[in-house]
């Protein structure tokens, strides 16, 4: 068997990385993964990947692809790559895909999760992966804010396009808060794609709503007029790319169909 295209699902703790994408000499996830592959004989220029997570952002479901000639089972490939990766990155799954598959351009749904812990004092075992806020958030207000997000519309209120002058219309399929317990809140959002800093700005605005520092109407009006909210950003450490999917559910398909944005 000659060279084939392998798809891997990666998990990583982004704390010690300058984001996913390779950049100059900074330590990035892409740089480290490619170095591990080269130890196995891979000699291409670059891997393909589903999304460019920012500095400090984590992932449990990042998707990458690369072409490689490997004469052993998939499980052996996973073990070989993991043996050459640091402890804060791991391959979770592997499969063979078509030679024309692209993890970014073929992706239809991306899902991020953001964790918040409400505590007046430091939480040393949590703060690497969650944003600590105080006072406690109003869960009802958070749910009301999340409820206005789903739909297909211009999302310029929440971010800028990756390419200057690019399209800012996005399909947000789902946005929900879960109160895990008295102190922990989890926000999950799924969309076809996201603008630069979009999820972190959405979380920050909702946090302000949950603390009664921003009216829900201001949040809703910014969406309606597609005007960038000049608010802060939630810290990167609470954000996790949990899933990338390559097909739409019936409900997601209907949202796209009824919106008329077939190019999404």
Question: Is the pLDDT reported for residue 164 higher than 90?
Answer: no
pLDDT, one tens digit per residue, over 247-260 is: 999 999 999 989 87
C-alpha atoms less than 13 angstroms from C-alpha of 263 in its C-beta half-sphere: 5
The pTM (predicted TM-score) of the whole model is 0.95
- Predicted local distance difference test score (pLDDT) of residue 216: 96
- The model's pLDDT over 204-248, given as tens digits with 9 standing for 90+, comes to 999 999 999 999 999 999 999 998 887 799 999 999 999 999 999
Instruction: Compute CA distances 112 → 9, 63, 175, 188, whole Å.
Output: 15, 13, 10, 6
Domains of the chain: 4-97 (3.30.70.580), 109-259 (3.30.70.660)
Judged by average pLDDT, the poorest of 95-99, 176-180, 255-259 is: 255-259
Write down the pLDDT at residue 231.
78
Tokens of 86: 């640091």
How far apart CA 81 and CA 65 sit, in angstroms, is 13
Q: What mean pLDDT is reported for the chain? A: 95
Which residues are marked as active site?
Answer: 54
* Least confident residue range of 40-54, 65-79, 187-201, 250-264: 250-264
Those residues whose C-beta lies under 8 Å from the C-beta of residue 124, and which sit 6 or more positions away, are none
Query: Sorting pLDDT into bands at 50, 70 and 90, what band is 1?
Result: low
Helix axes 198-210, 216-225, angle to 10 degrees: 150
Give the count of beta carbons closer than 10 Å to the beta carbon of residue 95.
Answer: 10
pLDDT band at 74 (very low <50, low <70, confident <90, very high): very high
CB-CB contact of 117 with 38 (8 Å): no
């Amino acid at each position: 068997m000659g060279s084939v295209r392998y798809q891997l699902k990666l998990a990583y703790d982004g704390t010690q990385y300058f984001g996913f994408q390779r950049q100059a000499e900074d330590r990035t996830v892409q740089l480290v993964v490619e170095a591990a592959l080269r130890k196995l004989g891979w000699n291409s220029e670059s891997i393909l990947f589903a999304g460019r997570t920012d500095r400090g952002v984590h992932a449990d479901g990042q998707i990458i692809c690369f072409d490689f000639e490997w004469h052993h089972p998939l499980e052996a490939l996973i073990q070989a790559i993991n043996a050459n990766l640091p402890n804060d990155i791991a391959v979770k799954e592997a499969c063979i895909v078509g030679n024309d598959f692209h993890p970014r351009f073929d992706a239809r749904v991306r899902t991020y999760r953001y964790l918040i812990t409400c505590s007046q004092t430091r939480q040393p075992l949590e703060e690497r992966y969650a944003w600590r806020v105080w006072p406690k958030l109003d869960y009802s207000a958070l749910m009301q804010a999340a409820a206005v997000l789903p739909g297909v519309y211009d999302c310029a209120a929440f971010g800028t396009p990756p390419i200057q002058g690019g399209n800012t219309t996005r399909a947000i399929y789902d946005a929900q808060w879960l109160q895990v317990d008295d102190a922990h809140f989890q926000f999950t959002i799924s969309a076809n794609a996201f603008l630069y800093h979009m999820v972190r700005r959405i979380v920050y605005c909702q946090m302000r709503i949950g603390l009664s520092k921003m009216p829900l109407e201001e949040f809703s009006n910014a969406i309606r007029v597609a005007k960038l909210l000049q608010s802060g950003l939630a810290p990167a450490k609470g954000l996790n790319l949990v899933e990338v999917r390559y097909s739409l559910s019936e409900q997601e398909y209907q949202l796209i169909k009824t919106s008329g944005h077939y190019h999404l």
